Amino acid sequence: MQIETIFTGLKACMEKHSRDLRNGELFLPNALTGRMFTTTFPMVMASLASRLHLEIVTEYQNQMPPSDVYQCGERQRVDYLLQDGRDLRIFVEVESLDRAQLATFFEHRGVADADNLNKLWYYYGTLVNHYTFGLPAPRYFVWLLILPDTPVTAYQVWDSTPAYRFFHPGLNQLVYESPYRFYDPLIKAVARLFLMKEHDFRPPGSGPWSRRPLTQFQETCELVFITCTTDRLVLSRGIDGFQPTLEQILPLDWPKV
């Protein structure tokens, strides 16, 4: 199954559930209260699985390789696993507006280990499980980012808090002007750097590290971002280096009210 099939299917299922999503209003800050977005979006994913004739597993436990060797956490709780019962597996992680930030995909030396939220290490750990330990890998590792391309009301920007210090709190107002235009290029830039960096692979005790850039593994387990701006979906692929000129865009056709 091609990623384009998943992409167009997601558009169709979001439009199918336009009333449940309130024509995109559930992507905005007000829907973060009371977990309105996170309790509604599963029905979209269930429709997508049905449309693609795939099984769906929620909160799938993706065990990481030994943490004393690879240091990428103990386990990942994948929001959705889509599978055909044979070889096809697709991981889908959904990051709501308050989680589609740099802290979810990047860390620096000033971030304490206890505060490190960089989920890209789960992608690396999944590749280690496959290439070092022979476990099955998903064909696509998809992050769905909710980043409206419109002015929004204030919400929690973790990146400007003392724990993360990615930028000064004075820049929060720029985030609120358009979370998509502020965050989407930054998240894809740090993901591109993560793929280009050489990472370590080896069976424990088998000799020196084998260092490889993760760009080599996109044909096996591709890292993919799909961004929802409330009025369109944007597909950006690791195999393309997340280059903006190669992104695919589909408008979301909400019913006129």
DSSP structure class, residue 110: T
In a domain, 46, yes or no: yes
Q: pLDDT class for 179, splitting at 50, 70, 90?
A: very high
Q: What is the pLDDT of residue 77?
A: 95
What are phi and psi for residue 5, nearest 5 degrees?
A: -65, -40
106-115, 125-134, 163-172: which has the minimum mean pLDDT?
106-115
Total-model pTM: 0.94
In a domain, 27, yes or no: yes
What are phi and psi for residue 89, nearest 5 degrees?
A: -140, 135
pLDDT in tens, 5-22: 999 999 999 999 999 999
pLDDT at 206 over 90: no
Q: How many domains does the chain have?
A: 1
In a domain, 256, yes or no: no
Residue 162 exposed, middle or buried by CB count within 10 Å (0-12, 13-18, 19+): exposed
The Cβ of residue 129 has, within 10 Å, a number of other Cβ atoms equal to: 18
Q: What is the pLDDT of residue 111?
A: 82
Angle 118-25-153 from CA coordinates, rounded to 5°: 70
- Torsion angle, CA of 183/184/189/192, rounded to 10 degrees? 140
In whole angstroms, give the CA distance from residue 93 to residue 105: 12
Domain interval for residue 77? 3-251
Q: What is the pLDDT of residue 133?
A: 87
pLDDT at 255 over 60: yes
Asked if 91 and 138 count as a contact pair (C-beta separation under 8 A), the reply is yes
Asked if 108 and 139 count as a contact pair (C-beta separation under 8 A), the reply is no
Q: In the predicted model, what is the mean pLDDT of the chain? A: 92
Mean pLDDT of 112-116: 80
pLDDT at 56 over 60: yes
DSSP structure class, residue 243: -
Q: pLDDT class for 132, splitting at 50, 70, 90?
A: confident
pLDDT at 86 over 80: no
pLDDT at 204 over 80: no
Higher-pLDDT residue of 241 and 206 is: 241
In a domain, 56, yes or no: yes
DSSP bridge partners of 235: 226, 248
In a domain, 257, yes or no: no
Here the tokens at position 169 are 């709190």
Mean pLDDT of 150-171: 94
In whole angstroms, give the CA distance from residue 174 to residue 168: 11
Handedness of CA 59, 84, 138, 46 (dihedral sign): negative
In whole angstroms, give the CA distance from residue 95 to residue 127: 21
pLDDT in tens, 58-68: 999 999 998 88
pLDDT in tens, 222-243: 999 999 999 999 999 999 999 9
